[in-house]
Amino acid sequence: MNIDYNETIPNNVGLADDRRLLRALERWQPAYLQWWNDVGPVETSDFEVYLRTAISVDANGWAHYGHLRMPEYRWGIFLTPPEENRQIAFGQHKGEPVWNDVPGEYRTELRRLIVTQGDTEPASVEQQRDLGRTCPSLYDLRNLFQVNVEEGRHLWAMVYLLHAHFGRDGREEADEMLERHAGDPDKPRILEAFNESTDDWLSFFMFTYFQDRDGKFQLAALAESGFDPLSRTCRFMLTEEAHHMFVGESGIMRVVKRTCELMREHDSEDVRPHGGIDLGTIQKFINFHYSICLDLFGSERSTNAANYYSMGLKGRYQETKIDDDHVLTDAHVIVPRVEGDHIATEEMAALPAMNLKLREDFAMDSQRGLNRFNKAIREYGLDVELTLPDPAFNRNIGIFRDINATPEGRLISDDEWQTRKYDWLPSPDDYAFVRSLMVPVIEPGKMAGWISPPKRGIHGKPIDYDYVLFH
């Protein structure tokens, strides 16, 4: 399943044999490049970046590494090979052969899922566009751009599905992907967290830790889809997603380690005078990013989610490894419920609680990295623990949207929230401080003072390798 790079759009879907589709995508391609130049990474068109490019979808050796200018990145369309005789694994169509074409009765729902997924990809590139100006090292700069070009490719993945399977309205949706913009008051991105700004590197590492992890879980749920082209494209996207989360986890870990070093050296929790980011501020950033990412899972009670599952369009995380009937019409789950001044629980049908199930899997996965950060903090002999806030904290979607809660999940009044929220969330001063540390470091091998070096370089290269060449 090698990819043909002699074509204008590299792909392993036989584009050359479908002239109409090819022509439609070739018309979209210049609009995409224009979008990249207009709202992608600022002032980077001359940079030569040490990037990996997909050259095959085989498990081993899918990537090629080399320096290239980002606008020349070979964005293409790669699906994992079809699994022979694959069957729908869940919902009303369980056991039937998977669909290679869109089932007419589910067209609206499928298109909506694909559009929502697709919209997040260019949004993240827009959100991160200014970060290149303040990179803490060349190594980090390269990782940022690797993430950016791959999110661009993820947009290609969804645009391919829209063009190949949804005719004229698919093409219109593909055009609109480039017309909505992160934070645009008139034409914002669809999901709230994709309209936030990400203009310092601590926010970037939090984004790739938490928000790309939402990506991992949503893609994993869509990879279970009975619509096989969606499943196959998500499977390949997940292989790229792993690197994004590596960037997030290792990034936060390096900030934490540098902070701990400074705490030890100066025997103080207040490392700001020494150019470090105190653990209190890191905790506030965790509180913010985790809570806005919980919103990305939608409401705990969602008929959309129940329908997506029953229709066989969107499964659970690792659906086929779960030991139940995969239909769930009679299953029940326990969900939280606001009861006066406290949070209680109640039982509800499992199907409309699908969003909550995925969110809980996300929470467990998020906690794993925190355990590793806390282990590192202990290894410095320090008695501080980073924690995930309660799901009731700082929420805008679902059952907690109209209440205020502390990170421990205690319900509080509006007044108390207003007076105390900056004890828990980054304040304008906290952002100003973090931003004051963001000065570019571009000498190979050098690191900004608020972050420790990575353990190793990329693809066997040394840490002081010329990951980005400026011409």
List contacts with ligand BYC (CB under 6 A): 113, 116-117, 120-121, 124, 151, 191-192, 211-212, 214-215, 218, 295-299, 302, 304-305, 314, 355, 397
Give yes or no for a contact between 283 and 387, defined as CB atoms under 8 angstroms apart. yes
Distance in Å, CB of 124 to ligand BYC, minimum: 4
Give yes or no for a contact between 53 and 243, defined as CB atoms under 8 angstroms apart. no
Residue among 397 and 447 whose Cβ is closer to ligand BYC: 397
| Short-list 235, 240, 182, 245, CA closest to 211 | 245
| Among positions 140, 212, 214, 249, the unique one binding Fe ion when judged by CB under 5 A | 212
Applying CB under 5 A, the span of 41-49, 116-124, 344-352, 453-461 interacting with Fe ion comes to 116-124
| Among positions 163, 165, 244, 326, the unique one binding Fe ion when judged by CB under 5 A | 244
Residue among 213 and 357 whose Cβ is closer to Fe ion: 213
| Short-list 396, 436, 409, 433, CA closest to 196 | 396
Residues 135-174 that bind Fe ion (CB under 5 A): 151, 154
- Please report whether residue 254 would count as binding Fe ion according to CB under 5 A: no
| Among positions 41, 215, 229, 251, the unique one binding Fe ion when judged by CB under 5 A | 215
Distance in Å, CB of 405 to ligand BYC, minimum: 18
DSSP string, 111-153: HHHHHHHHHHHHHHHHHTTTGGGG-S-HHHHHHHHHHHHHHHH
Distance in Å, CB of 86 to ligand BYC, minimum: 21
Q: CB under 5 to 8 A by kind: which of Fe ion, ligand BYC, none does 299 bind? A: ligand BYC
State the DSSP code for 85: T
| Torsion (CA) 233, 239, 241, 244 in degrees, nearest 10 | -150
CA 107 to chain centre: 25
> What are the φ and ψ backbone dihedral angles of 156, each rounded to 5 degrees?
-55, -40
Element (H, E) at 411: strand 411-412
Distance in Å, CB of 303 to ligand BYC, minimum: 7
Element (H, E) at 166: none
Q: CB under 5 to 8 A by kind: which of Fe ion, ligand BYC, none does 355 bind? A: ligand BYC
Instruction: Provide the token pair at 114.
Output: 């694909």
Distance in Å, CB of 7 to ligand BYC, minimum: 26
Distance in Å, CB of 163 to Fe ion, minimum: 18
Query: Which residues in this chain contact Fe ion in the complex, by CB under 5 A?
Result: 121, 151, 154, 212, 215, 241, 244
